[in-house]
Amino acid sequence: MKKIKILLVDDIFLNRILLQEIITEIGLFAVEAKNGKEAIEILQKEKDIDLVLMDIEMPVMNGFETTRYIRQKFSAPQNSIPVVAITAHDPNSFMEEFNNIGFNQLISKPYTIDKISLMIKTIFGD
C-alpha cells in the first residue's frame, strides 16, 4: 500500500488515539485535528494530505460544515480530496445530507483495522 497521509478529525481524544493506532498498525501516517476549524487550518498549510477521516458531530465546526467548506472553498485538486465520514449515529438519519455534501464514504463506529483497511483499499486501490 502506498504511503497515504491521513487527517483525523474528531473532538474525542480517545477516538483520535484509537484511529491513530489503527493507522499506524496499517503502516500509514496521520495528523490530527479536534474540530473542523482546525482541520481547515491544517489543510490550508499541508498540501500533502491524501485522505480526511471526518467525525460528523463536533463543536466549533461539525463534519458537515467542514466537508462543505472543503468542497466549496478549496481549489482543485484539494477540493476533491477523499473525505470519509465517521460516526456512531445511524447513517440513515442523515444520508441525504451526507450525499449532498460530498462525502466519499462512511464508516460507523466502532473502528476496526479491517474497516479502515478496506476503506483505504476501496479509495486508493492496493
- In angstroms, the CA 81 to CA 41 distance is 15
> Whole domain around residue 44: which residue ranges?
5-124
pTM of the predicted protein model = 0.92
- In angstroms, the CA 66 to CA 35 distance is 9
Domain tally, the chain: 1
Q: Look at residue 92 in the predicted model and tell me its pLDDT.
A: 63
Distances (CA, A) of 94 to 24, 98, 107: 30, 6, 13
Residue range 2-42, pLDDT digits in tens: 689 999 999 999 999 999 999 999 999 999 999 999 999 99
- What residues does 55 pair with on adjacent strands? 86
β-pairing, 51-55 vs 83-87, is parallel
Residue range 57-111, pLDDT digits in tens: 999 999 999 999 999 999 999 999 999 999 876 666 666 676 778 899 889 888 8
- Helix (H) and strand (E) counts in the chain: 5, 5
The residues, any chain, with a CB within 8 Å of residue 69's CB and separated by 6 or more, are 36, 40, 61
CATH code at position 17: 3.40.50.2300
Residue range 33-71, pLDDT digits in tens: 999 999 999 999 998 999 999 999 999 999 999 999 999
